[in-house]
Amino acid sequence: MKQNEYPYRNPALPLEERVEDLLGRMTLEEKVDQLMQITIGADTNPNNAGDGHSFRPTIGSVLSYSGGAKNRNAFQRLAVEHTRLGIPIIWGYDVIHGWRTGFPIPLAQACSWDPSLIEAGCRVAARESYAAGIDWTFSPMLDVPHDPRWGRVMEGYGEDPLAAGIFGAAAVRGYQGDDPSQPGTIAACLKHFVGYAAIEAGHDYAYTDISSRALHEIYLPPFHAGVKAGAMTLMSAFNDITGTPAVVNHYTLTEVLRDRWGFKGFVVSDWDGVIQVENQGYTSDPAEMCRAALTAGNDMEMNSTSYRNIPQLVASGRLEMQVVDEAVRRVLRVKFAKGLFEHPYRDEVAPESVSLLPESLEIAREAARASMVLLKNESDTLPLKTTLRHIALIGPVATDPEASAGAWAAMVLPETVPTLRDVIGKYFPESEIHFAHGCDYEGDSEEGFAEAVAAAEKSEVVIMALGEGGNRSGENRSYTNIALPGRQAALLRRIAELGRPVVLLVSSGRPILYPELEPFANAILHIWECGHGAAAGCCDILTGAYNPSGRLAITFPRSVGQIPIYYNRHHRARPDSHSWNGTYFDLDDSPMYPFGYGLSYTRFEYSQMSVSVPELTAQVTLRNAGERAGKETVFWFLSDPEAKLTQPIRRLIAFEQIELAPGEEQIVTLHFDRMRDLAYIDPTGRKVFEPGRFILSVGSEKAEFIVRAE
Ligand code: NOJ
């Protein structure tokens, strides 16, 4: 029989039959190759230090590939047409928030609270990266952080496990589409499985001490949601989970992921994750690393090559062949499901024909303006009148496209990203814009202050565009001080002395410290790192063409001393009313800006909340009491004040967005469920419903109710 007559080549056969047929024809060496992922040539991804490996066309996967469709086709042809079984390679890349068209960083997107926007952005990213030869993205990141010193908070969807799961599922749908075998879709990879964000003191790559309870209650749920949404792959994490590194963790990778959740795809390690267990003090024997990772359920090894020990381990009886077969089966399953055997090559279209399309840029702009969060608006400083004659625009962000592109910007070309300075004139055609750089992000120089003061003095309002700079957050970007760097706060203070209204825009990839900035601005808009739509989206808000609707998906602390800080914390033994209550003596204990916070140009009022039991419905009347149309995110929080396993003070169980015209009101209804919403997760991961007293809160409203045993 010729290769093209083998049953696995026949797309009409059921997928599992094709997998078994192909697996049965493979040599051990071919199997090992399928479990390895390498870079070709120099790796241009700054987060990985690699010079690349020599290319073997039988290799399972290539990562950090940015060589375009034509080169991919040439390599892929070697795999498909010049190897014994012709197994196509799967090509991966970190497409985190766009490919050529830049979308807001995921943390910002979460602040839009709009899963449909996240899905739409990921669909664009899939289409663009697919055309460039990518099959698979290492996204979404579903880590749940409590510590903004960790630079990777920018990559996730904030601190709430439910929200991270909902947004992660939206990303999976966006990347993979309804049918992941179709051209224009890419496979998603949920990462980092699991608990990476629990790192100590914000140090990247650090140890994590995670109780079974926290594992099941905080860190696993977003992954479960992503698996239910059909994610084809997961990435095991770098962290050492309470003594068993994630990459060799049988409990998480097999007992939870496969046995409980029924996940059928494959797990790839993180970069060198398998061999790093030596640094973590697990084993220094490469064969043992390989055996431990594979038997735990880590199917593919990224970059390092300890899996080359597989034949020796099998021959010596230390590794069962069926463990190897199962890993290969999972990889092949994804390759078949991805349609790689039917569509191994790419059309060599010019990237411009699918990149930066007007409709993609429109989605980017919508996502950007929906992600920005209005933190302060004293005396309705914003929106600005478009009839202003003189506006000062000051600060390093105003001219910096990289501040908008943000970290992990894939193939976003900074020169294609409009800056505030580029576009602001269009939004204020009657105004003269007086620009001054003011100061750099970092460093001690105040040389530019005088020019900035002169620009501000000529103006009726000053827009200060300050920030972190595009790459201060991201992987391996841990900081003990998360205040704005350099002389930026001093510049703001200097400008504020002039007495003009000051609008502060802050671009960052993480929560920053506002106490030193807030008193010196009349309005504050947190603009994150919002990609191609950043400048236009920001101007839409400045002019009032868009009424800000973003709400924080992560808590902003007042001080680094408050970290870890997050909204769904547990009760202390002594309440605030106690005179010895454990709160800080030197600082207001509350966050600077809490989870869910964000202002609008209108006012929303909540009233007449009611809960019906046994129907398990709740209602509240929401009214737009202001003078502008606006969008409100309605957050429903649950408290379970008495439980055998004590519960967080409150936790989010649902959210919904409602748009209302001025004066309009709507009754918002929540249908809740005993097991899904009222039950808690015990330390083994089981849901437990304890009858009794509960409290639901929404906006300013709160209602207590009792649910009895059925
Ligand atoms: C290391 C990062 O932790 C991971 O998120 C990323 O996907 C890989 N490098 C590949 O670039």
For residue range 57-115, list pLDDT tens digits in order.
999 999 988 888 999 999 999 999 999 999 999 999 999 999 999 999 999 999 999 99
User: Ligand 1 within 6 A of 270 CB?
Assistant: yes
Residue tagged 């051990």 (tokens): 28
Give the span between the Cα atoms of 340 and 336, in whole angstroms: 6
List C-alpha distances in Å: 354 to 99, 192, 357, 360, 651. 11, 30, 6, 9, 42
DSSP assigned state of 196: G
Shortest CA distance to 510 belongs to which of 552, 538, 464, 569? 552
Average model confidence (pLDDT) across the chain: 97
Would the CB of 138 count as within 6 Å of ligand 1?
Answer: yes
| 45 has a pLDDT exceeding 70 | no
Q: 45 in ligand 1 pocket by Cβ < 6 Å?
A: yes
Q: Whose CA is nearest to atom 4 of ligand 1?
A: 270
Q: What is the pLDDT of residue 44?
A: 64
Query: Does 191 sit in the ligand 1 pocket, CB within 6 Å?
Result: yes
Question: What pLDDT, on the 0 to 100 scale, is given for residue 199?
Answer: 96
Tens digits of per-residue pLDDT, 646-686? 999 999 999 999 999 999 999 999 999 999 999 999 999 99
Mean pLDDT for 275-302 is: 98
Please, which pLDDT band fits residue 46 given cuts at 50, 70 and 90?
A: low
Between 334-338, 352-356, 429-433, the lowest mean confidence (pLDDT) is in 352-356
How far is Cα 307 from Cα 294, in angstroms, rounded to an integer? 8
Identify the pLDDT of residue 48.
Answer: 72
Instruction: Enumerate the active-site residues.
Output: 270
Higher pLDDT residue, 140 or 43? Answer: 140
The predicted-structure confidence for 202-243, as pLDDT tens digits, reads as follows 999 999 999 999 999 999 999 999 999 999 999 999 999 999
Q: How far apart are the first and last CA of the chain?
A: 63
**Atom from ligand 1 closest to the CA of residue 191:** 5
Residue 491: name the closest of 504, 476, 473, 501 by CA: 504
Note the pLDDT of residue 429: 97
Q: Does residue 641 have a cis bond before it (omega within 30 degrees)?
A: no
Tokens of 260: 């409980």
The kind and range of the H/E element at 213 are helix 212-214
Q: 351 pLDDT band (50/70/90 cuts)?
A: confident
Share of the chain above pLDDT 70, in %: 99
Q: Please give the distance, rounded to the nearest whole angstrom, from the Cα atom of residue 191 to the centre of ligand 1.
A: 9
What pLDDT is stored for residue 65 in this prediction?
83
The DSSP code for 486 is T
- Inform me whether the pLDDT recorded for 167 exceeds 70: yes
The answer on pLDDT for 511 being more than 70 is yes
Which residue, among 407, 518, 402, has the nearest Cα to 464 in the 3D structure? 518
User: Is the Cβ–Cβ distance between 412 and 101 less than 8 Å?
Assistant: yes
48 pocket-lining for ligand 1 (C-beta < 6 Å): yes
CA of 622 to the centre of ligand 1 (A): 43
Alpha-carbon span 375 to 435, nearest angstrom: 24
pLDDT for 303-332, tens place per residue?
A: 999 999 999 999 999 999 999 999 999 999
Nearest Cα to Cα of residue 435 among 453, 411, 455: 455
Task: For a ligand 1 pocket test, name from 48, 194, 275 the mutation site with the most ligand atoms within 8 angstroms of its C-beta.
Answer: 48
What is the distance in A from the centroid of ligand 1 to the CA of 481? 25
> Residue 246: which pLDDT band, with cuts at 50, 70 and 90?
very high
CA nearest to 271, candidates 445, 415, 94: 94
Q: What is the mean pLDDT of residues 578-594?
A: 94
Q: Quick one: three-class SS letters along 543-561? A: HCCCCCCCCCCCCECCCHH
* Ligand 1 in reach of 65 Cβ (< 6 A): no
Of 269, 303, 475, 478, the one to substitute when testing ligand 1's pocket (max ligand atoms within 8 A of C-beta) is 475
Ligand 1 atom closest to the Cα of residue 141 is 5
Residue 688, pLDDT > 80, answer: yes
399 CB near ligand 1 (under 6 Å): no
For the residues 292-310, what does the mean pLDDT come to?
97
93 lines ligand 1 (CB under 6 A): no
Whether residue 152 contacts residue 474, with contact meaning beta carbons closer than 8 Å, is answered with yes
Is 71 close to ligand 1, i.e. is its CB under 6 Å away? no
- Ligand 1 centre to CA of 474 (Å) is 11
Residues 383-400, mean pLDDT to the nearest whole number: 97
Q: How far is CA 212 from CA 22, 251, 253, 327, 366, in A?
A: 39, 11, 15, 27, 40
- The Cβ-side half-sphere exposure at 285, using a 13 Å CA radius, reads 6
> Which tokens go with 231?
């994610």
Strands 266-268 and 301-302: unpaired
Q: Which atom of ligand 1 is nearest to 155's Cα?
A: 5
CA of 272 to the centre of ligand 1 (A): 10
List Cβ neighbours of 546 (8 Å cut-off, separation of 6 or more). 369, 537, 540
Looking at beta carbons, which pairs linking 661-665 to residues 24 or more positions away fall under 8 Å? 661/624, 661/629, 662/602, 662/624, 662/626, 662/627, 662/628, 662/629, 663/623, 663/624, 663/625, 664/623, 664/624, 665/621, 665/622, 665/623, 665/624
Q: Is pLDDT above 90 for 580? A: yes
Residue 674 CA to residue 685 CA, distance in Å, equals 16
Instruction: Decide whether any atom of ligand 1 lies within 6 Å of the 196 Cβ.
Output: no
Other Cβ atoms within 10 Å of 228 Cβ, number: 14
Distances (CA, A) of 7 to 10, 121, 259, 335, 651: 5, 38, 29, 16, 52
**Does 271 contact ligand 1 (Cβ within 6 A)?**
yes
**3-class secondary structure, 355:** coil
* Ligand 1 site-directed mutation target among 154, 271, 272, 477, most atoms within 8 Å of CB: 271
Give residue 254 CA to ligand 1 midpoint distance, Å: 22
- Among protein residues, the one with the nearest Cα to ligand 1's atom 7 is 138
What does the DSSP assignment read for 552-618?
A: -SSPBPSSGGG-S--TTPBPPSS-TTSSS----SSS-SS-SB-TT--B-SS-EEEEEEEEETTTTEE
CB of residue 47 inside a 6 A radius of ligand 1: yes
196 Cα–ligand 1 center, Å: 12
pLDDT of residue 551: 98
Ligand 1, atom 3, residue with closest C-alpha:
270
Measured on CA atoms in the order 314, 317, 321, 326, is the torsion positive or negative?
negative
Mean pLDDT of 691-695: 98
- Binned at pLDDT 50, 70 and 90, residue 49 comes out as low
Q: What is the model's pLDDT at position 710?
A: 85
pLDDT of residue 386: 93
pLDDT class of 576 with cuts at 50, 70, 90: confident
Please name each of the domains of the chain with its CATH number: 3-337 (3.20.20.300), 359-562 (3.40.50.1700), 604-707 (2.60.40.10)
| Whether the CB of 83 sits within 6 Å of ligand 1 | no
Ligand 1 mutation pick, 199, 247, 270, max ligand atoms within 8 A of CB: 270
Residue 271 C-alpha to ligand 1 middle, in angstroms?
Answer: 6
> Which atom of ligand 1 is nearest to 138's Cα?
7
CB 665 within 8 A of CB 611: no
Q: What distance in angstroms lies between residue 408's CA and the mean position of ligand 1's atoms?
A: 10
Q: What's the CA gap between 622 and 342, in Å, rounded?
A: 52
| pLDDT tens for each residue of 113-140 | 999 999 999 999 999 999 999 999 999 9
* CA–CA dist 453, 32 (Å, integer): 65
Residue 503 confidence (pLDDT) above 80: yes
Q: Is the CB of 94 under 6 A from ligand 1?
A: yes
Which atom of ligand 1 is closest in space to residue 45's alpha carbon? 11
Q: What is the pLDDT of residue 52?
A: 74
- Gap from CA of 270 to ligand 1 centroid (Å): 6
| Cα distance between residue 464 and residue 622, in whole Å | 34
Q: Which residue has tokens 């699918």?
A: 354
Q: Give 585's contacts (C-beta < 8 A, 6+ positions apart).
A: none
Q: Report d(CA 249, CA 245) in Å as an integer.
A: 6
Alpha helices in 379-498 (DSSP H): 401-405, 420-427, 449-457, 488-496
DSSP codes joined into one string, 518-546: GGG-SEEEE----GGGHHHHHHHHHHTSS
Greatest Cα pair distance, the chain, in angstroms, is 85
**How would residue 420 be classed by pLDDT, with cut points 50, 70 and 90?**
very high
